[in-house]
Structure 1
Amino acid sequence: MTGGTIARYLAEGVDVRVLTFTLGEEGEVIGEEWSQLAADGGADQLGGYRILELTRALAALTPAGSAPVRPRFLGGAGRWRDSGMAGAPSADHPRALVGAPFDDLVAALVAEIVDFAPQVIVTYDDAGTYGHPDHKLVHATTVAAVPEAAERLGGAHLKVYESVTEQSALAVGLTAASGRVPQGWRMPGTDELPSYPDETITTEIDVRPQLHLKAAALAAHATQVTVAASGTEYALSNNIVQPILDREHFVRTAGHPGDGVGPGREIDLFAGVV
């Protein structure tokens, strides 16, 4: 959802840090080649392989000639484990993120924010995009950590954004995709893909120049994502078509608005930052 934005700001020379809370150990695996790495496939080594995928994805988003952005993990790689979807037995694992003391998660994130001293933070919405318990917990942890980190940074005014999908952009993308659905894929049903009403969007980032990089980064996550030959759509393991959007959308939840287009809609995450 934010690959284009990451690539755009890296190209502009912005110092970008990508922080992940787990390794995605409980995820489903597309195809047979790496299926035995899954938690239920025997080896339970998927998390380690996904570090490689994330590393490749960030390298794809990094401008040529620059040192690739390296992934970071809250508490260090492997500190907390993917909890799986709601109701899954994996939530009972002793290292499952959802079982971690909330104060420990907040303290670890505060330390990351203070160390980096960013001007802008991007996170999930309160639904975790599609309801994943870990995504929702990332949101809650961020909400709790930002004020404490800002205070420790001398009262810094951090801009905080939630990454979302604009309703009309999704509709346009799906209409374009409807004529080129790969074999074995299907179009989503009504409201099957989450989106936000246009009037709730505060910020729109144009990533058309970075669209090919975004597609390459998605393709790097081959155990999780299949990118269509067109380079304009992708699907998760459910084979539901999703457009690779050339504009990425956000809801600003903290910080002051900047100059943009339309009433209240920014075109730069750093608008208004001094």
Structure 2
Amino acid sequence: MRKARVACFGAVHEAAEKNGELELLDGRLVSHNEVVWLPPVEPRTVFALGLNYSDHASELDFKAPEEPLVFLKGPNTFVGHNAQTRRPQDVTFMHYECELVVIIGKKAKHVKREDAYQYVKGYTIANDYALRDYLENYYRPNLRVKNRDTCTPIGPWFVEASAIPDPMNLALRTYVNGELKQEGSTKDMVFDIPFLIEYLSSFMTLDENDLILTGTPKGTVDVVPGDEVATEIEGLGRLVNNIVGDEVFSKR
């Protein structure tokens, strides 16, 4: 079963997919276009991986890292399915990043990799945009690159871990205006999910609804206002997002 969080009828609701519609917990059925899609879980601590696919590292002229390149993301960055993402006027290169998101299900500390999947509640999709103009060093993604408002669409679905028997063998694809631009597989991660959970939990406590954004494969290209970007991951659905310019937002 695929679940979602949506806003409609003046409230926030949990919903489940049913016969092509959304069934709210109170039994009401609504169509997909009658709701505002929210992130499928309310993120707690969010970890993101840089250069976690060797082919993506190569397209940026870097070698794959020997240790995970992890940075944190604030909740202000997240928007839901069908949302708008702002491209600042002064940016010359902004690209999408289709990423598998791991959703932690319970408190985890000093987890061994062979036990790691016991701590995974489910999965979703993120599109973690990068604004390369603001990147000081690819090995140290900074706040101005990865913590910008509206720049991380996530969702639309929360998919339970039991529905994804092998998360390390899922196809990822990104389409810009309907044209396939990025294609890869989670099997090509440098550091797999069990390793990342073992690594992170070795020095800090993970908790329910902590998220791990696991990186993106090669195939990232510049996107501009007016573009529709759709990221897909096998078994998890399709996350759609639209790029807009500064003129859509108030000047402050």
Sort the TM-score into its range (normalised by shorter chain).
Answer: under 0.3
User: Could you say which structure has the greater relative contact order, defined with CA pairs below 8 angstroms and 6 or more residues apart?
Assistant: 2
- Answer 1 or 2: which has greater helix percent: 1
Scaled by the length of structure 1, what TM-score is found?
0.25
Structure 1 or 2, whichever has the larger Rg, is 1
- Answer 1 or 2: which has greater strand percent: 2
